[in-house]
Structure 1
Amino acid sequence: MDVLIVGAGSMGTWFGDGIDARVTFADLDRDAAATAAETVGGDVTDLEGETTFDVVCLAVPMAYVTDAIAAQADRAERAIVDVSGVMEPAITAMERHAPELERVSLHPLFAPERAPGSIAVVRARSGPVTDELLAALEQRGNELLETTAVEHDEAMETVQAATHAAVLSFALVAESVPDGFETPIYEELRRLARQMTAGTPRVYADIQDTFDGADAVADAAAEIAAAGPEELEALYREAAANWHDERDERDEHDERRDTGGNTT
């Protein structure tokens, strides 16, 4: 199987390394394509060309994935996939520009250096080629999370946009404290802030531009800041009910499954 990976960043390199195929990279930065090809034992080709491949994978920033699909779909003979991180626009663009091909959208829910992990998968039009690619990723220790484009993108409003906004807000306002004053919650937030700010700013900017979620965090912070003691207690109880009810329901579900439905 011959696979063209458009985008030679960390995610494109991860995908090329995770599949069992002859891989070729194309990127605006030809040096980056050469580096990725050297890393996984692949080749380099021009971003614009007439050579076709069994599969074309778009590993570009989510803001550019629809344009990249439109530009590269004609180079795919059997399947087109993406690992951009946004699914509804990608799936729609694939259907428009490659209606006869197998079409799958993937979102690795981890940074490439933390692989393996869970991969969200939307099989818009599956078949033997994409099944083989997904099987290879599973064999590398990844867990495939089957979903829909709508479910995925709605989840990312919380999982990415709101979460990142909350952590980045803490990172911006937190001040240095003397040693010994740390609490467990502060320590955990500090760890998350350090982890997040060691990443790529453009990636986080693309997420905020693509998914809603940050406004809700800002609204909640403003409500907390304006609340009196009784109002704050009510907000705390509301938050506790949201999280503990969800956890208790999940624990009960797991217990029923483990005991065959009998919890007595």
Structure 2
Amino acid sequence: MSASPLLVDVVVLGANGAFGRTLAGLLHAGGHRVTGVDLAPAAVEQAPLARYVAGDATSPSAQVRESLSRADVVLASLHEDVALASLGAVLPALKPGALFVDTLSIKSPLAARVASARDDVEQLGLNPLFGPSVGFTGQNVAAVSARRGPRTDAMLALVESWGARVTVLSPEEHDRAMAAIQVATHAALVSFGAALHGLGFRVEALRQLTTPPHRLMLAALARLVTGNPEVYWEIQHSNPFAPEARRALQDGVERVRDVTAAGDVEAWRGLLGDCRQALGSEAEAFAALCAELFRRV
């Protein structure tokens, strides 16, 4: 398979990370010349790279800068603090017209920094809304195109060719949406886990009594707590709309408390009605999905 002429040379910063390896593999399979950069002295075993350069993105060596200077695309698959710290060294090395891509969960701070530093490079933020082990096929990817051009369009088309559903948003639209989709969801799961701990609940002792909804919640909680804590911390700590999402979650718990304490069944029906309203026209579809999942657990 041949790569788009706009995306031939790609540098992946953080090439030894889980998503860095996934992206490098897809790019390599598509015929792109992929240079991996990471701190380790060597690439991880079987890394699909044309070239590997050991280096620090926040303080790149001459060899790393040379790779950056000829790249059509620089893809930063880094944690937020490292990605932001690297901009001062990485952006000046890019050739005019190059595309800088990040995979952060929060877009507004980085987008603003890149826009103020370089007005002659394209900028694209990708947020794969799934773990790297899941793969892109059939999954959602949020895209933030702060400065769009031909390489951006080619990169978006490439991600769609991997089977992903791509939605393009502004940085603020992205972060507001992720406050509901990621911040509130993860906070609810962590609160659920903390409640189980506080209640002295032990799954191994009571698993035979669990219900399908409870098992689904346990499965989602287990995936979260066995994942990378820094990823979930970044989502909770860095999203500028996270406090609003957590307040809304707390308000919901307090409504449940107040309605049940008052013994007001009509208020309870109203609360469930509000929940259904949030689902909108998708309520029946998600109810069917839930029934399917219940049969599997």
TM-score, length basis structure 2: 0.75
- Tell me the percent identity: 25
Distance 1:112-1:161 versus aligned 2 partners, 3 A rule: same
Q: Is 1:184 equivalent to 2:212 in the alignment?
A: yes
Q: Check whether the contact 1:80–1:98 (CA below 8 A) recurs between aligned residues.
A: no
Of 26, 30, 35, which residue of structure 1 is paired with 2:44? Answer: 35
Inter-partner Cα distance in structure 2 for 1:248 and 1:10: 36
Cα distance between partner residues in 2 of 1:128 and 1:67: 27
Shift of 1:56: 1.3
* Pair 1:170 & 2:192 matched: yes
Does 1:58 find its partner at 2:68?
A: no
Question: Deviations along 1:14-54, whole A, 9 cap, x unmatched?
Answer: 222233421112223344xx117x42233222331331122
| Deviation of 1:242 (Å) | 2.7
Among residues 277, 285, 288, which one is paired with 1:245 in the alignment?
A: 277
Amino acid at match of 1:147: L
State whether residues 82 and 104 of structure 1, in contact with CA within 8 Å, keep that contact through their aligned partners in structure 2. yes
Of 222-231 and 133-142, the range deviating more from structure 2: 222-231
CA distance in 1 between counterparts of 2:278 and 2:258 reads 27
Residue ranges of structure 1 left out of the alignment (5+ in a row):
253-264
1:195 aligns with 2:262: no
Could you give the per-residue CA deviations for residues 186-219 of structure 1, whole angstroms, max 9, x where no partner exists? Answer: 1221121112122111111111111213344345
Match of 2:19 in 1: 11
1:234 Cα deviation after fit? 6.3
Letter in 2 for 1:68: S
Name the residue aligned to 1:76: 94
Q: How well do the aligned residues superpose, as a CA RMSD in angstroms? A: 2.5
SS at match of 1:114: coil
Alpha-carbon distance between aligned partners in 2 of 1:126 and 1:179, rounded to the nearest angstrom = 51
Corresponding residue for residue 287 of structure 2: none
Contact 1:103 1:125 in 2 (8 A): yes
Q: How does 1:1-264 map to 2 (within 5 A)?
A: 1-8=8-15, 9-19=17-27, 20=30, 21-31=32-42, 34-35=43-44, 38-45=46-53, 46-47=55-56, 48-49=60-61, 50-51=65-66, 52=69, 53-77=71-95, 78-116=98-136, 117-174=139-196, 175-176=201-202, 178-211=206-239, 212=242, 213-222=245-254, 224-225=256-257, 228-230=260-262, 233=265, 236-250=268-282
From the superposition, tell whether residues 128 and 12 of structure 1 become closer, same or farther in structure 2 (CA, over 3 Å): same
1:221 deviation in Å?
A: 3.3
Q: Hey, what does 1:260 align to over in structure 2?
A: none
Q: Contact 2:276–2:283 (CA<8 Å) still a contact in 1?
A: no
Letter in 2 for 1:25: G
Pair 1:248–1:205, CA change in 2 (3 A) = closer
User: Which 5+ residue runs of structure 2 have no aligned equivalent?
Assistant: 1-7, 285-297
1:91 Cα deviation after fit? 1.2
Give the 3 Å change call, closer, same or farther, for CA 84–99 of structure 1 in structure 2: same
| Distance change in 2, residues 1:242/1:16 (3 Å) | farther
TM-score w.r.t. structure 1 length?
Answer: 0.83
Which stretch shows the higher mean deviation, 4-13 or 146-155? 4-13
SS in 2 for 1:119: strand
